[in-house]
Structure 1
Amino acid sequence: MEKNGLIDRLTNKLERLLQTKYSLFGIAVISFFESALVVPIITDPFMVAYILANRSKTTLVIIVTIFSSLLGGVVAYFMGMFFSTFMLAFLSTDSITQFYQISENFKNQTFIFTIIGAVTPIPYTLVALATGFVKGGLLMFILGTIVGRTFRYSIVGYITYRIGPRSIKLIQENIIILSAIVLLIIASYYLFFY
């Protein structure tokens, strides 16, 4: 019985915290760091909790989360670019040639790879770092991030708003299905247009 009391107290404290004037800033910080650093933080549960506590601000939290994630992704992109320049100084001429051959293939797919990283459980930060590392197009990276994160966070926000507390379980159960659908759409695109 005490365990339920502790959970209830923590839940009440979290609900009060999410209704403060700083809670949206907290979501922005979490979203930024999830995208900028390789850390085991997922923004979605915090966003869901915020929406459940502040239903009238659903659209606002989605927008803040998308653009905070974008800023974090751009930081990771430039970190990848910095490490690329640093690492290339230690490679042989043959290795540098191979690196540039491989990176050319990746650069041409920056938009698609970014969408995949922004929507699926593949860590988006790793995609951002890799894109910067091979010096993929920054504009395509930004556009891919906006498209992918808008898709992901809008679905999470909409489901949370419409279904309420049951949405947490629904999102957890269907993230793999959502990821598979996105990958299927991208694969179909390649089959028909390449």
Structure 2
Amino acid sequence: MLRKLYDRVIAYSAKPSAPWALALVSFAESSVFPIPPDVLQVPMTLAQPQKAWRYALIATIASVLGGVVGYAIGALLYDSVGKFLIDLYGYGQKVGAFQTAYDHYGHWVILLKGITPIPYKLVTITSGFAHYNIWWFLGLSLITRGARFFLLAGMLHYFGPMARDFIERRLGLMTFGLLGVVVLGFLAAIYLM
């Protein structure tokens, strides 16, 4: 089953709509969606390594734009949509601690959490809720999300053929590993914030 799904994503990478799908997932992940864009960026880059930097740029821009939506949810709709999303992902009791961290370390919170597997929507919604300076938020989001997606693109571009061979031979292990990273990100957000 994993092999068929992987093969479909690799085949889909050649379609003109693939960058749009990457943009949509990147946008949604920054505000409401739980799946990271890596699940598309990795196979798309492996299928077309010459487009690694383009895919990283698409993911970065879409993620930052989605972050603006997350920020707006936190700033304008926290009592309804924002609180619902935070509670949905199990972080309701952590918002106060997160806001306190913003008061002291706002820049570092955005920079560090934006590059980790901790769900970025927590950063965007809480940034809005904390009324963090929108211009700093945008600049720091561009830096941290760009670093994440361009670093991934660089590794895949450099190790492309070896990485593709490794992933294809160990697809189950790699899928389990990616799932583990997502789960660890959620757990870290719950217990380390």
Q: TM-score, normalised by structure 1?
A: 0.69
Instruction: Give me the CA root mean square deviation.
Output: 3.0
Deviations 1:46-77 (A, max 9, x none): 10111011111111111110000000001000
Q: Which runs of 5+ in 2 are unaligned?
A: 82-97, 168-173, 186-193
Q: Quick one: which of 121, 126, 140 aligns to 1:125?
A: 121
1:132/1:21 CA distance change after superposition, 3 Å:
same
Quote the residue 2:31 is aligned against: 36
Quote the residue 1:154 is aligned against: 150
Equivalence map 1:30-179=2 (5 Å): 30-37=25-32, 39-84=33-78, 106-107=102-103, 109-164=105-160, 165=164
Taking only the aligned residue pairs, the percentage that are identical comes to: 23
Q: Quick one: which of 10, 22, 28 aligns to 1:27?
A: 22
1:160/1:103 CA distance change after superposition, 3 Å:
closer
Contact 1:110 1:140 in 2 (8 A): no
Q: Which runs of 5+ in 1 are unaligned?
A: 1-5, 88-101, 180-194
1:12 Cα shift?
3.2
Bigger Rg, structure 1 or 2: 1
Contact 1:111 1:143 in 2 (8 A): no
- Number of equivalenced pairs: 156
Contact 2:30 2:66 in 1 (8 A): yes
Contact 1:159 1:167 in 2 (8 A): no
Q: TM-score, normalised by structure 2?
A: 0.70
1:85/1:10 CA distance change after superposition, 3 Å:
closer
1:105 Cα shift?
6.4
Moved more, 73-82 or 151-160: 151-160
1:34 Cα shift?
0.5
- 1:8, 1:84 → 2: CA distance? 41
1:77/1:83 CA distance change after superposition, 3 Å:
same
Q: Quick one: which of 10, 13, 16 aligns to 1:18?
A: 13
1:129 Cα shift?
0.5
1:17 Cα shift?
1.1
What amino acid is the match of 1:135?
Answer: H
Quote the residue 1:98 is aligned against: none
